[in-house]
C-alpha cells in the first residue's frame, strides 16, 4: 500500500479498514424509471434520508441496507446497487465528451468486462438513444446474469455478448469508447468483503497484472483512431494500475487524458492522482471503497472518425406489420423462432451486423412470443424503456391494460404465487408498482397466468 499510494493514504486506509468494516451501501437510480424522485419519495425503504454520491448525479448512499430481494422496485430496474467509487463512469464519460468535443451523435461503445452490469447500466443512462453499447462478458454464466440485469434496466441501444477479448479482432477500429473494468486482485474490496483477503498473494497480483496487459493488448486494435479507453480496477497496487497505464502509454502509444479538478482535495473528498495520470480512490480519503481508473486516447493519425462501414441490410419488418405493442415507426421487428425482437430503427442494421461478428446473448428488446395468431407480451417488454415512457404518458398500446399493484401483490407476482386481480379487465395486464412496469399476467377472471420467467422469480419467503 505504501509503495503504491504513499504512507499517508496507506495509514488512513488501514485505520478505516480496522474500524469501518462493511462500508456504506449505495445505489444508482434509473433516470428512465422515476429517477431520483422515486427513490427520494420512498426513502423509508432505505432506513431514512439518502445522501448524494458527490461524483455521480444519480448515486445515493443509503442510511441502511435493506433486503433488496423484497423490494419490487429493485426487480423492476428502478435502481442498481453499486459501490460508490465504481460510479466513476459519469466522470470519465464527461471528461471524454469534453476532450473529444463530440456532440454525441452515433457513438459505439464497448464495456469489455461487464458482468454483472454496474458500469454498463450506468453508461446506458448517460448515452443518447442513437449510440450503441456492446456489453460483453467472457464467462458464459456471468453473461446471462449481465443480460438479465440489462433487461431489467430497460435500455434498447445495447447488445450483450459473450466473447473473449481476442474475438474482437474482427471489429478493428470499430469503437469510439472502450471500458476495460479488468478482473483484478480486489484489494479495494478488502474492507467490504474481508474474506477476499485470503485470496490475495503476490503471485496472484502478478498473474492479474499480466492478464490485464493481455486484455488491453487484445482490445486496443478495436479502438478507433481518436477513440478513448477507460481502464479500471478495484485494487491499489501499482503493478495492476499505474504499471498497466504506463504500458498503454509506452507500448501502445496511448495519450493520458486528465479530468480537470477531479484529483486533490475537493467536493469529492481527496482523490489521488497517480504518476502516470490515473485516479485512485482510497477509503478514508473518499466515501467509497478502493478503485483506480485512467482515461487514455488513441492518436488520430488515421483520421478523426472510425473508418468502419456497416454494410446496408434490409429490415425484415413486413412479416410483423401488425405487431401491436410497440410503435411501428420507431422499431424494426424480427421473428427469431417464435420470439419477436424489436430493434430501434436507427440501430437495427448495426445490431444485425454485430450479430454476425459476436456471440450474442441478447440484443434489442424481447417484445413478445408469437403463439398462433396471438402475441404474448414478453416480460422484458414491461421492463423496457419504451414501456416506462408509455406508462408515464398514460399511453399503453391497445390490447394491454394496466393495474397498479400493492407491495404484497407485487411480491406475490415476483414469487410466482397465486394472484387474483379482482375487478381487473380480462386479458393481458401490465402490473405497475409505484409507477414502474413490473411484468405481465394474463387475467382469466378467477386466476391469472403469471408471465414472469421462472429464472427471475424470488426464491426466498416473501412473508415479511
| 391/404 Cα distance (integer angstroms) | 11
Shortest distance in whole angstroms from residue 59 CB to ligand SAM: 13
Shortest distance in whole angstroms from residue 295 CB to ligand SAM: 16
Binding region for ligand SAM (CB under 6 A) out of 136-144, 197-205, 327-335, 382-390: 136-144
Q: Which of 27, 84, 115, 158 binds ligand SAM (CB under 6 A)?
A: 115
Q: Which of 138, 285, 326, 360 binds ligand SAM (CB under 6 A)?
A: 138
Bridge partners (DSSP) of residue 110 are 134, 178
| 168/359 Cα distance (integer angstroms) | 11
| 83/26 Cα distance (integer angstroms) | 6
| 346/131 Cα distance (integer angstroms) | 9
Could you tell me the strand order of the sheet in which 401-404 lies? 401-404, 427-433, 436-443, 448-450
Contacts of 302 (CB under 8 A, 6+ apart): 173, 225
Contact 222, 241 (CB under 8 A): no
| 352/358 Cα distance (integer angstroms) | 10
What Cα–Cα distance (Å) separates residue 407 from each residue in 36, 39, 98, 421, 439? Answer: 20, 15, 43, 14, 14
Closer CB to ligand SAM, 137 or 385, in the complex? 137
- Cis, bond preceding 116 (omega within 30 deg of 0): yes
Shortest distance in whole angstroms from residue 182 CB to ligand SAM: 6
Question: Under rule CB under 6 A, which residues in 39-98 are in contact with ligand SAM?
Answer: 86
Contact 460, 431 (CB under 8 A): no
Q: Which of 23, 72, 77, 118 binds ligand SAM (CB under 6 A)?
A: 118
What are the grid coordinates assigned to 383, written together?
Answer: 421492463
Tell me: does residue 248 bind ligand SAM (CB under 6 A): no
Number of residues that bind ligand SAM (CB under 6 A): 17
Task: Note every long-range contact of 444-447, with CB atoms under 8 Å and residues 24 or more positions apart, other chains counting.
Answer: 446/420, 447/418, 447/420
Tell me: does residue 230 bind ligand SAM (CB under 6 A): no
Tell me: does residue 34 bind ligand SAM (CB under 6 A): no
Active site residue 56: no
- Compute how many other C-beta atoms are within 10 angstroms of the C-beta atom of residue 308: 15
Q: Which of 183, 221, 225, 256 binds ligand SAM (CB under 6 A)?
A: 183
Q: Which of 109, 215, 295, 405 binds ligand SAM (CB under 6 A)?
A: 215
Binding region for ligand SAM (CB under 6 A) out of 111-119, 152-160, 372-380, 409-417: 111-119
What are the grid coordinates assigned to 292, written together?
Answer: 483506480
Tell me: does residue 187 bind ligand SAM (CB under 6 A): no
DSSP of 379-417: HHHHHSHHHHHHHHHT-PPTT-EEEE--HHHHHHHHTT-
Shortest distance in whole angstroms from residue 238 CB to ligand SAM: 18
Q: Which of 94, 106, 142, 407 binds ligand SAM (CB under 6 A)?
A: 142
Shortest distance in whole angstroms from residue 240 CB to ligand SAM: 11
| 366/451 Cα distance (integer angstroms) | 13
Tell me: does residue 113 bind ligand SAM (CB under 6 A): yes
Tell me: does residue 116 bind ligand SAM (CB under 6 A): yes
Binding region for ligand SAM (CB under 6 A) out of 92-100, 110-118, 296-304, 436-444: 110-118
Task: Estimate the crossing angle of helix 242-251 against helix 202-219, to 10 degrees.
Answer: 30
Binding region for ligand SAM (CB under 6 A) out of 55-63, 133-141, 384-392, 416-424: 133-141
Tell me: does residue 117 bind ligand SAM (CB under 6 A): yes
* Given the residues 56, 113, 208, 234, the one annotated as active site: 234
**Phi, psi of 436, deg, nearest 5:** -120, 135
Tell me: does residue 229 bind ligand SAM (CB under 6 A): no
Shortest distance in whole angstroms from residue 183 CB to ligand SAM: 4
Tell me: does residue 139 bind ligand SAM (CB under 6 A): yes
Contact 39, 78 (CB under 8 A): yes
Tell me: does residue 221 bind ligand SAM (CB under 6 A): no
Tell me: does residue 36 bind ligand SAM (CB under 6 A): no
Catalytic residues: 234
* Contact residues: ligand SAM, CB under 6 A: 86, 113-119, 137-139, 142, 165, 181, 183, 211, 215
Amino acid at each position: 500500500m505504501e509503495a503504491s499510494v504513499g504512507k499517508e493514504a496507506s495509514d488512513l486506509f488501514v485505520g478505516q479498514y480496522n474500524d469501518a468494516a462493511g462500508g456504506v451501501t449505495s445505489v444508482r437510480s434509473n433516470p428512465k424509471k422515476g429517477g431520483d424522485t422515486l427513490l427520494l419519495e420512498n426513502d423509508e425503504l432505505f432506513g431514512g434520508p439518502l445522501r448524494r454520491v458527490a461524483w455521480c448525479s444519480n448515486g445515493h448512499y443509503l442510511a441502511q441496507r435493506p433486503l433488496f430481494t423484497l423490494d419490487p422496485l429493485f426487480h423492476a430496474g428502478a435502481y442498481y446497487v453499486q459501490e460508490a467509487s465504481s460510479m466513476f463512469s459519469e466522470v470519465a464519460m464527461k471528461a471524454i465528451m469534453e476532450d473529444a468535443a463530440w456532440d454525441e451523435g452515433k457513438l459505439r461503445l464497448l464495456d469489455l468486462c461487464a458482468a454483472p452490469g454496474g458500469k454498463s447500466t450506468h453508461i446506458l443512462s448517460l448515452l443518447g438513444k442513437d449510440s450503441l453499447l456492446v456489453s460483453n462478458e467472457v464467462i458464459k454464466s456471468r453473461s446471462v446474469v449481465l443480460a438479465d440485469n440489462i433487461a431489467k434496466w430497460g435500455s434498447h441501444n445495447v447488445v450483450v455478448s459473450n466473447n473473449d477479448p481476442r474475438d474482437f479482432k474482427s471489429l478493428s477500429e470499430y469503437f469510439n469508447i472502450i471500458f476495460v473494468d479488468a478482473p483484478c486482485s480486489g484489494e479495494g474490496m478488502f474492507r467490504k468483503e474481508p474474506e477476499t483477503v485470503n485470496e490475495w498473494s503476490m503471485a496472484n497480483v502478478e498473474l492479474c497484472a499480466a492478464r490485464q496487459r493481455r486484455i488491453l493488448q487484445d482490445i486496443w486494435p478495436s479502438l478507433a483512431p481518436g477513440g478513448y479507453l477507460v481502464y479500471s480496477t478495484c485494487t491499489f497496487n501499482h503493478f495492476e494500475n499505474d504499471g498497466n497505464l504506463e504500458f498503454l502509454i509506452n507500448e501502445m502509444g496511448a495519450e493520458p487524458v486528465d479530468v480537470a479538478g477531479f484529483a486533490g482535495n475537493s467536493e469529492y473528498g481527496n482523490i489521488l492522482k497517480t504518476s502516470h495520470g490515473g485516479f485512485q480512490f482510497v477509503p478514508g480519503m473518499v466515501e467509497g471503497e478502493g478503485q483506480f481508473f485512467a482515461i487514455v486516447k488513441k492518436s488520430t493519425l488515421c483520421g478523426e472518425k472510425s473508418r468502419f462501414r456497416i454494410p446496408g441490410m434490409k429490415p425484415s419488418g413486413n412479416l410483423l406489420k401488425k405487431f401491436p405493442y410497440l410503435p411501428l415507426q420507431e422499431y424494426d421487428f424480427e421473428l427469431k423462432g417464435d420470439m419477436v425482437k424489436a430493434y430501434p430503427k436507427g440501430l437495427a442494421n448495426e445490431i444485425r451486423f454485430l450479430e454476425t461478428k459476436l456471440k450474442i446473448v441478447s440484443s434489442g428488446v424481447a417484445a413478445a412470443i408469437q403463439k398462433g395468431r396471438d402475441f404474448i407480451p414478453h416480460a422484458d417488454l414491461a421492463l423496457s424503456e419504451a414501456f416506462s415512457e408509455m406508462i408515464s404518458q398514460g399511453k399503453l398500446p391497445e390490447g394491454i391494460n394496466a393495474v397498479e399493484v400493492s407491495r404484497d401483490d407485487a411480491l406475490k407476482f415476483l414469487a410466482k404465487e397465486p394472484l387474483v386481480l379482482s375487478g381487473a379487465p380480462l386479458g393481458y395486464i401490465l402490473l405497475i408498482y409505484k409507477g414502474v412496469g413490473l411484468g405481465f399476467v394474463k387475467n382469466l377472471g378467477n386466476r391469472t397466468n403469471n408471465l414472469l420467467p421462472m429464472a427471475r422469480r424470488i426464491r426466498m419467503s416473501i412473508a415479511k
